[in-house]
């Protein structure tokens, strides 16, 4: 009997094979990473032998590069062996790898290319955060690089106290309350709008829709896209919400209003009305309160604080940037925001 290509059994078998391939690839990557860790361990122990011998270390790596390349081919240049050594030196300090001596104890879940990028991060807490998130969210190296370049860790640290910052390094980003999904600023360099000297809110919105997958990734965990220019009506007057999402972790609607200029108190009042409408007429009884995010080019934090209730947990205002600034520039922005919050 000839099976149709779109039959359910074909789809099930195809899924099994694709998952098997991914698992094999993941196992190979993990095994190679562990191999490099143990190679690095051997190099460092041979170098030191009880004391630091820098010149001997250089000669050792040089000789190993020649011998290993002759035996195993490409992949063991002096540069690569130095990276392997650095990888071991970096990760041998972590609690989970201090006592690792065999493949049966492999703690490395990412590819070697992921770790080449991670070892460049000097801050231990920051490095652990990206490692955890890359594994949990199945980030490609390119996706992880983008998150590092946009200072995701620093932006999340900004709105957290010391205990929550410590938790980021131990568990990654945990979404439990509305504030956990908020970033300030949002980095939207993927829209390509920095090349335009002038653009409207409609152009900004259209660009986001054209790059909706990247925008959802920037928003963070658990977001599902619901619609654009979603209309609701009362007293024969129509209102339109720019973007509507649903967060499956927080179990609530997240509505977004886009402003290309400086935030005004009228914008906050409008968002308050949108949130109230969704809470009273759209959300189900078992769903949590709606979250409103105004993403604007600029804002006055004092204006936002005065306009919103003291115990506000529903409406947030964040800036956006259409270029990817340097890590130093973003770190400066984060530090300025932290100082504002402390004063």
**Does residue 163 fall inside a structural domain?**
no
The reply to whether 104 and 183 lie within a common domain is no
* Tokens found for residue 248: 């499956």
Q: ω into residue 67 within 30 of 0, thus cis?
A: no
| CA nearest to 148, candidates 179, 126, 171, 132 | 126
Determine the pLDDT at residue 272. 96
The reply to whether 214 and 98 lie within a common domain is no
Sign of the CA dihedral running 218, 221, 227, 231: negative
* Tokens found for residue 162: 């010391």
Question: Containing domain of residue 249, as a range?
Answer: 176-342
57-64: which pairs have CB atoms within 8 A and are 24 or more residues apart?
Answer: 61/85
Determine the pLDDT at residue 52. 53
- Tell me how long the chain is: 343
The reply to whether 115 and 219 lie within a common domain is no
Determine the pLDDT at residue 53. 60
Alpha-carbon distance of 118 to 145, in angstroms, equals 9
**Does residue 155 fall inside a structural domain?**
no
* Tokens found for residue 114: 């992921």
- H helices within the chain, ranges in order? 8-48, 54-72, 78-91, 112-118, 124-136, 141-149, 152-157, 162-171, 201-210, 212-219, 265-277, 301-307, 327-342
The reply to whether 182 and 331 lie within a common domain is yes
pLDDT less than 50: residues of the chain = 1-3, 50
Q: pTM, whole model, 2 decimals?
A: 0.81
Question: 201 φ, ψ to 5°?
Answer: -65, -30
The reply to whether 221 and 297 lie within a common domain is yes
Query: What's the domain count of the chain?
Result: 2
What CATH number is given to the structural domain containing 195? Answer: 3.40.1350.10
User: Which pLDDT tens digit goes with each residue over 133-165?
Assistant: 999 998 999 999 999 988 899 888 876 777 888
Determine the pLDDT at residue 105. 72
């Amino acid at each position: 009997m000839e099976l149709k290509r779109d039959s359910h059994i074909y789809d099930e078998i195809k899924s099994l094979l694709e998952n098997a391939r991914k698992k094999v690839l993941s196992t190979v990557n993990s095994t190679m990473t562990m191999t490099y860790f143990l190679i690095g361990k051997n190099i460092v122990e041979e170098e030191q032998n009880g004391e630091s011998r820098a010149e001997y270390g250089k000669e050792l790596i040089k000789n190993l590069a020649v011998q290993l390349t002759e035996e195993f081919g490409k992949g063991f240049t002096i540069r690569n062996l130095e990276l392997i050594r650095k990888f071991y030196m970096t990760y041998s300090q972590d609690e989970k790898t201090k006592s690792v001596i065999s493949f049966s104890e492999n703690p490395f879940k990412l590819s070697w290319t992921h770790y080449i990028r991670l070892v460049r991060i000097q801050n231990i807490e920051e490095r652990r955060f990206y490692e955890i998130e890359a594994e949990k969210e199945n980030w490609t190296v390119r996706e992880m690089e983008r998150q590092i370049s946009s200072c995701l860790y620093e932006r999340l640290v900004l709105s957290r106290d010391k205990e929550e910052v410590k938790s980021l390094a131990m568990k990654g980003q945990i979404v439990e309350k509305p504030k956990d999904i908020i970033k300030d600023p949002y980095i939207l360099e993927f829209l390509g709008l920095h090349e335009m000297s002038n653009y409207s809110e409609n152009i900004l919105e259209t660009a986001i829709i054209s790059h909706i997958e990247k925008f959802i990734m920037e928003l963070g965990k658990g977001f599902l896209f619901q619609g654009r220019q979603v209309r609701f009506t009362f007293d024969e007057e129509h209102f339109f919400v720019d973007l509507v999402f649903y967060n499956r972790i927080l179990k609530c609607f997240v509505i977004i209003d886009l402003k290309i200029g400086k935030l005004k108190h009228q914008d906050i009042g409008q968002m308050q009305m949108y949130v109230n409408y969704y809470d009273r007429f759209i959300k189900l009884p078992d769903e949590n309160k709606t979250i409103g995010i105004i993403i604007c080019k600029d804002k006055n934090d004092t204006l936002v604080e005065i306009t919103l209730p003291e115990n506000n947990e529903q409406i947030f205002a964040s800036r956006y940037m259409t270029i990817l600034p340097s890590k130093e520039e973003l770190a400066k922005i984060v530090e300025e925001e932290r100082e504002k919050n402390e004063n």
